[in-house]
Amino acid sequence: MREVAIIGIGETKIGELWDLSLRDLGIHAGLEAIQDAGVTGDEIEKLYIGNMSAGRLINQEHIAPMIADYAGLEGTPAVRIESGGASGGMALAEGFMAVASGMNDIVVVGGAEKMTDVGDVEAKDILSSTGDREWESVFGATFDSLYALMAKHHMDVYGTTREQLAQVAVKNHYNGARNPNAQFQREIPLKMVLNSPAVSTPLGMFDCAPLSDGGAAVVLCPVEIAESYSGKPVRMMGVGMGSDHMAVHDRQSIDTMKATNLAARRALDMTGLECSNMDFAEVHDNYTISEIMAIEDIGFFNKGDGGPATQRGDTALNSKISVNPSGGLKAKGQPVGAVGINQAVEAVIQLRDKAGDRQVDDAEYGLTHNVGGTGGSAVVHIFGRWSP
């Protein structure tokens, strides 16, 4: 297996982007990444696109060749990868395998989602399709409520508090305020989160990440040729994936994401590194409870210590482990199928020392964690600073 590097990144701003179509989002991000890498169109051997639900969101399936077409890459193999909210991260895993296997040299992996062409209620209904439609949502379970059930259980079992959940949102907004591509570039006080209107108890409006439009892309190549391109390379060191029962109620423990646990273990085993080696992590904080579960299930903190660790400030920028320096899904935004690529883009920015006011000092290694549905699938990637 060959070692893999990222040599180019691109992403659109995230938010309600009324003037941009899905096609535009994919192309803008892709062209930026290609330009950053300094590769030519002829060199690109494959394109993967992570996307959750273009079919229901904009009535367009088969979007990978469409994006390739308008990016001037017609003829290039182009495939869409779907794994709910983990579509982006799973697409990146496919790109990694294409390069690592020796099958392809230059591969572009993009992610794009257009969430705001449908109304809020419809967008949430579509998102809930990434849970178990026939045995959860048909009975009235919203996507929010499934995470609320995990949150309530986590609070009952481990004593996690409402304030600890809220602190996740406060921290991620602090980081997002330092990210020019973030949807919400403002800090928020704890009280604002605690007093936000109930969505599904114990979760309020500010416990939930927005549903956003956005596109992101990266360019991959083998480590041996990485320095022959113009973009400063970053190493992709480990990839791990996992799955679990689709319905939350079928999980061994409903306060734990086994898919995350397996994905993290597999990715770390590939690198020989441990959680203690990581300087930062971009985790899937679609809800505040999700970040608390993620930092436990990846292995940064013991089960049940995610809440207290957050409250102690152990996950703040440049503390024990900088969690979601980009602002995460909560503040940077949630273009669902693009999230995994947005996370990889942040990892590269950090490892190139280009993160400005949200820079993690002396960052050597970083981890990204992307979840599909309510934990039915998860993928973890590990990145390292370039050393020739």
Partner 1 sequence: MSIPRFWREIRQRYKGIGTECGVCNRVYFPPREVCPDCGRDSLGDMKEREISGKGKVLTFTEVHEPMPDFEILSPYIMAIVEMDEGVRMTGQLVGVEFDEVKNGMEVEAVLRKLGEESPSGIIYYGYKFRPCR
Binding site for partner 1 (CB under 8 A): 121-122, 124-125, 128, 134-142, 144-145, 148-149, 152-153, 156, 197-203, 245, 247-250, 254
Closest CA to 52 of 142, 134, 113: 113
Closest CA to 325 of 356, 288, 297: 356
CB of 116 to partner 1, least distance (A): 17
Judged by beta carbon, residue 370 or residue 374, the one nearer partner 1 is 374
CB of 148 to partner 1, least distance (A): 4
CB 308 within 8 A of CB 155: no
Q: What is the DSSP string of 281-325?
A: EE---SBHHHHHHHHHHHTSS-TT-HHHHHHHTTTSTTSSSEE-T
Judged by beta carbon, residue 200 or residue 315, the one nearer partner 1 is 200
Judged by beta carbon, residue 154 or residue 369, the one nearer partner 1 is 154
H or E element, residue 47: strand 44-50
Q: For residue 15, how many other CB atoms are within 10 A of its CB?
A: 19
CB of 337 to partner 1, least distance (A): 22
Judged by beta carbon, residue 138 or residue 388, the one nearer partner 1 is 138
Q: What is the DSSP string of 89-118?
A: HHHHHHHHHHHHTTS-SEEEEEEEE--TTS
DSSP state for residue 365 in the 8-state scheme:
E
CB of 80 to partner 1, least distance (A): 25
Q: Which residues contact 352 (CB under 8 A, 6 or more apart)?
A: 232, 234
CB of 370 to partner 1, least distance (A): 24
Judged by beta carbon, residue 140 or residue 388, the one nearer partner 1 is 140
Query: In a 3-state reduction of DSSP, which class is residue 29?
Result: helix
Q: How far apart are CA 143 and CA 132, in angstroms?
A: 10
Judged by beta carbon, residue 40 or residue 252, the one nearer partner 1 is 252
CB of 169 to partner 1, least distance (A): 17
Q: In whole angstroms, what separates CA 118 from the centre of its chain?
A: 22
Judged by beta carbon, residue 148 or residue 347, the one nearer partner 1 is 148
Judged by beta carbon, residue 122 or residue 227, the one nearer partner 1 is 122
CB of 40 to partner 1, least distance (A): 48
> In the structure encoding, which two tokens stand for residue 96, read together?
């990694």
DSSP state for residue 45 in the 8-state scheme:
E
Q: Which residues contact 83 (CB under 8 A, 6 or more apart)?
A: 50, 89, 90, 372, 377, 379
Judged by beta carbon, residue 152 or residue 369, the one nearer partner 1 is 152
Query: For the purposes of burial, counting CB atoms within 10 Å of the CB of 198, is it exposed (0-12), middle (13-18) or buried (19 or more)?
Result: exposed
CB of 306 to partner 1, least distance (A): 17
CB of 308 to partner 1, least distance (A): 21
